[in-house]
Amino acid sequence: MNEFKLIDTAMPDVPPSDPEQTAEVRARVLRDPRTRRRFGMPVAAALAALATVAVIVTIVAVPRLTGPVPASPADRSEASSGRYWRVIMEEDGFSRTKSNYYVRQRISHVQWRRTDLVDETAAWGPEANLVDEKRFLSLEPATAADREAWKRAGSPEFCEYPMKCRDGDLRVGQTKFDLLLGSWFWQNGFSGPPLTNLESMKLPGDPSTLRSALLRFWPAGDHPEKAWDVPVEDTPTKDDWLWGTSSDILAQLPISSATRAAFYRMLTELPGARVVRRSGTVTIARALQDGYLEQHVVFDPATGRLSAMKYVLLKRDPARTGGAADFSSLPKGTVIDQFTFTQMGWTNEGPVLPKGCTLREQRPCGP
C-alpha cells in the first residue's frame, strides 16, 4: 500500500457510487465530536505568498502510521545525496499599497542549502549556508477596480515591496541573491543540540516518536511542564510551535518518505487541525495563533510530496489596518499568500552568482 494514500485507507471498504457524497457521509461519521481549540501563529513561519479563493470540502480522519515505510517510486528515482539541497518554488501573494488598492506579485525562488555548513558553530562563520535566488516575475493590480485606483494614483512603478520603490528594491524581470549564514535552526531562532549536516536530518518515521524528537528543540522546554500549553508573553504554545516547525521542515529540509508521512499524520493530530481532500490533493489546515489566517499544508497523496503552503483569510485583523497586510476588504476564504513547490532534491550544481558576489558577502547581491 502507498503510505501516502492516507485518506482512502481511512474509509470503509465498500464505498457508494458517488465519491463526493461518500466523502461527506464518512466525514460526519469520523469527525471528532469534541470542540477543538484553535491555536496560532507559528514562531518559525518562514513561508508566505498567493491569492485565490479556497473552497473547503470534506473533513476526514487519517489513520495512524506506525514504523518505517518503503520509499515511493519518486524517491527511489532521485539522487540520495549531493552538495546542496535545492528547493524550487513560486511565491504568489497580495499586498495593499498606501493608496488603498491591492496588488498581486509573483516571485520565483531557487534555494540552495549547503551540506557542509549546517551546524550551530557555523552560525557566525564566514560564508553563507543558504542562497536564495529570487526572480521578480510580475506585479500588477489585483482586480480591475484596483487597476483604476492605480491609474488615479499616477500609475506608480511597481517594486518587490509595493509601498514605495527604493534604491536596491527588486524590479519586475530582475534577479537578486539573498545570502544567509548559519543553520536552519539558528536562522529560525531555535535552540537545541547542533545539527552537524543536512544528511543527518534523519527524523523518525513514527508520528509519536517524531513529536518527541522535535520537542528536544522546543524553545520553552525549560519552563515548568504545566505552563507548556499556555503562551508565555509572545512565545507560541507547544502545539503551535510543533505546527510551525513541522511545516517549515517539510518545506525546507531533506527527509525520507516515511518521515514525511509521519509529519502529515502528526499535524492532523494537533488541536484545531482538519483534513480536506479535493482534486487529487490532501490539505491539512489549521488556524494560526492570531486567529485571522489559516495555514494550509497541501500534498500529493500519490507521492507524499509537498505541493503548496497557503495562508487563507479567516477574518479581519484590526492590528493591520492601513498597512500592507490589511486585507479587510477581501472576502473570507481568500488565499492571501502561497508558495507552490515544483522541485525538491539533492544536486551538486550550485548557484551561479553575479560577478563580484561571493558567499562571504552575507548580503543581497544584484541586480
- For the chain, how far is it from start to end, CA to CA, in angstroms? 49
pLDDT tens string, the chain, 367 residues long: the values are 344 444 343 322 323 333 333 333 233 323 332 222 222 222 222 222 222 222 222 223 333 333 333 344 444 456 677 888 899 999 999 888 888 888 999 999 999 887 665 444 444 445 567 788 989 999 899 889 999 999 998 888 887 766 667 776 778 888 888 877 654 444 444 433 334 344 446 788 999 999 988 887 776 544 444 444 544 455 678 899 899 889 988 998 888 889 999 999 999 999 999 999 988 899 999 998 878 899 999 999 999 999 999 999 998 776 667 666 678 778 889 999 999 999 999 999 888 888 877 766 556 677 6
Per the CB < 8 A criterion, the answer to whether 326 and 31 are in contact is no
Residue 288: strand, helix, or coil:
coil
Per the CB < 8 A criterion, the answer to whether 338 and 93 are in contact is yes
CA–CA distance, 144 with 150 (Å, rounded to integer): 10
Find the Cα–Cα–Cα–Cα dihedral 177, 182, 186, 192, rounded to 10°. 150
Interior/surface letters 159-181, b for 16+ CB within 10 angstroms, e for the rest: bbebeeeeeebbebeebbbbbbb
**Sequence-distant (≥ 6) Cβ neighbours of residue 212 within 8 angstroms:** none
pTM to 2 decimal places: 0.71
Cell matching residue 118: 549546517
β-partners of residue 105 are 93, 139
